[in-house]
Amino acid sequence: MSISGQFRPVPPPFIDAPPVGDLLSQGLELVEDLTHKLQKLDSLMLAGKPNEISEAAASVEIALNDAAPAFAEIAEAMGRLGASDLASAAAQLRHIEQADAAGLADALRGALTRFAKRSVNASRRAQQLNRGLSAALRSLQALGVQESGRLIAEA
pLDDT score of 130: 84
Which residue range is the domain that position 86 belongs to?
20-125
Q: Would you say residue 132 has pLDDT above 90? A: no
pLDDT score of 17: 55
Q: Is 54 inside a domain boundary?
A: yes
Q: What is the 3-state secondary structure (H, E, C) of the chain?
A: CCCCCCCCCCCCCCCCCCCHHHHHHHHHHHHHHHHHHHHHHHHHHHHCCHHHHHHHHHHHHHHHHHHHHHHHHHHHHHHHHCCCCHHHHHHHHHHCCCHHHHHHHHHHHHHHHHHHHHHHHHHHHHHHHHHHHHHHHHHHHHHCCEECCEECCCC
Number of domains into which the chain is organized: 1
- Give per-residue pLDDT as tens, 51-93: 898 899 999 999 999 999 999 999 999 888 889 999 999 998 9
pLDDT score of 112: 94
Mean predicted confidence (pLDDT) in 10-15: 42
- Give per-residue pLDDT as tens, 94-103: 888 888 999 9
Q: Is 4 inside a domain boundary?
A: no
Q: Is 102 inside a domain boundary?
A: yes
Q: How confident is the model at residue 40 (pLDDT cuts 50, 70, 90)?
A: very high
Q: Is 100 inside a domain boundary?
A: yes
Q: What is the pTM of this model?
A: 0.73
pLDDT score of 2: 45
Mean predicted confidence (pLDDT) in 102-107: 94
Q: Is 138 inside a domain boundary?
A: no
Q: Would you say residue 18 has pLDDT above 90? A: no
